[in-house]
Structures are given as C-alpha cells and as structure tokens.
Amino acid sequence: MKKEINVVGAIIIKNNTILCAQRGETKALANLWEFPGGKIEVGETPIEALKRELIEELEVKVAVKEEVFDHTSYEYDFGVVHLTTFVCELIEGEPVLTEHRSIKWLRPEELSELEWAPADIPAVKKLEKYKDQGAI
C-alpha cells in the first residue's frame, strides 16, 4: 500500500494574477510548477499548515479563504498525494525563493503555459474558467 500524503496549496492572488512556483531541482517532481504549500503536520488544520508553509517557503503571510477551492488525489510513484487548495490574499511580504527555483505571477488564462505537477492540474483547469470573469 502506498503512503498517503496530505498537502495544502495556496492560490495566492495579487492584482488578478496568481502566484505559480517552480519546484527546486533537488525535490521530487523537480522543475514542475505548483501552488506553494506543503504537508499538513500532526495536530494542524489545513489552513494552519498552509500559513506555516508559506512563511517557511516564501516568507509571506496570507489571509486564507476558509472555503476549499479544490481537492484532488493523485497517485505518484512515491505515494498518493491528497492536495487541498485554498484561495489566499497576500497580506505581508513579497515572495522570497527559499525552496523554489522560480516564481511567476500569471493571469488565469496563462496558467496552462506552464508544466504543472499532476496533482495541481485540476485546480489550474478550474482557475482557467475565471479568465472571462476578470477576477478570481
């Protein structure tokens, strides 16, 4: 039986663009793009984990909308990832690259130009539907 891994991802919005983060070369899924976040630790709620991870990974603070944006499960060779994404607003700091190789701020219709980690793709497709609405 494969390891079950519960993770959270942040859809960080700024000026109707979304923060996209490219995984580092030494990480699993190297160089693929993702919504930043990470594993939920024992005793943490998903929102607490997301806030902690964003401080650790990007040195930013966010306001997290309580409603889940998307939830998906994807089976990788190293385990089954259960990814829950939340829409967030950047409230303090500018992203600093501590673990990621690169970041980009893209409009929803530009997201598909990147090569995303498979677990993030359902949220990307859902976000692309917002392109005609002008806001997320």
pLDDT in tens, 73-123: 999 999 999 999 999 999 999 999 999 999 999 999 999 999 999 999 999
pLDDT digits (tens, 9 = 90+) for 43-57: 999 999 999 999 999
| 16 Rama class: left (phi>0) / alpha (psi -120 to 50) / beta | left
Residue 25 has a CB neighbour count (10 Å cut-off) of 8
Q: Is the dihedral of CA 105, 109, 114, 117 positive or negative?
A: positive
The CATH topology of domain 4-132 is Nucleoside Triphosphate Pyrophosphohydrolase (3.90.79)
Bridge partner residues of 62 (DSSP): 90
pTM of the model as a whole: 0.92
